[in-house]
Amino acid sequence: MGHRERLRQVIKDEAETILKIADEVDYAVLDQITELFCSVKGNSKKVILAGCGTAGMAAKRIAHTLSVVEIPAFFLSPADSIHGGMGVMQEGDILILISKSGNTTEILNYLPAAKKKGLRIIGVTENEESGLGKGCDILLKVKIEREPDQWGIVSSASTLAFISVFDAIALTAMEETHYTKEEFYLIHTGGGVGDILRKEGIGK
């Protein structure tokens, strides 16, 4: 297979993975998470996310998207969490832990404190029998058949699948909370998006 064919195949494999997730994900769980997210701001709570490696990159992206749609969220580094960082976790907050295997030690470290402090724990994993799968309050199973690299182990399609699912939740919550362009402009005056909104007369 030539370079161009391989490049095209990876893109197709990743696209097909997300389409398959759209047919297989548990929408009852997505509904439950959406409802939780809709209640965060009104109850003065927050969403805290964590993951390691590429799962951590997905967690950061998800946290940013949630903040953009006025659902207060941030990434809590696993390296900082066991050195006092978990002090930001307070009763009623939502903790989202992402681990493909569900047995990442740094991620399981959050569970004892989160449970004792009264957080709602959402576990995002492929393995419901893992430590995370059994230790969370809400299990969001996102499982793919195979990563598109030559060994089938480099987290790429799975990372996109995690992000896609939470994009769906965030954008649905955005509509459910009746988030307005005026509210959006207040926090997004920069870049091309800010220019578009100003041309529409938002913020005047």
The dihedral built from the CA positions of residue 86, 83, 70 and 159, taken in this order, carries a sign that is negative
- Measure the CA–CA gap between 168 and 186, rounded to whole angstroms: 23
Q: Which two tokens stand for residue 166?
A: 């939470």
pLDDT at residue 2 in the model: 80
Measured distance CA(110)–CA(101) in Å, rounded: 16
- Distance in angstroms (rounded) separating the CA atoms of residues 138 and 34: 12
Identify the CA nearest to 51 among candidates 142, 147, 187, 146.
142
The whole-angstrom separation of Cα 8 and Cα 1 is 11
Q: Please, what are the domains in the chain?
A: 3-179 (3.40.50.10490)
- Write the pLDDT tens digit of every residue in 48-91: 999 999 999 999 999 999 999 999 999 999 999 999 999 999 99
* Rama region for 152: left / alpha / beta (φ>0; ψ in -120 to 50; rest): left
Task: Quickly state the pLDDT bin for 3 (edges 50, 70, 90).
Answer: confident
Which whole-number Å values give the CA distances from 21 to 17, 32, 46, 77, 102, in the listed order?
Answer: 6, 18, 27, 27, 18
With a CB cutoff of 8 Å and minimum separation 6, the contacts of 37 are 47, 66, 71, 94, 169, 170, 173
- Structure pTM? 0.94
Read off φ and ψ for residue 203, nearest 5 degrees.
90, 0
Copy the structure tokens of residue 60: 């950061």
Question: Could you report the per-residue pLDDT of 137-191, keeping only the tens digit for each?
Answer: 999 999 988 999 899 899 999 999 999 999 999 999 999 999 999 999 999 999 9
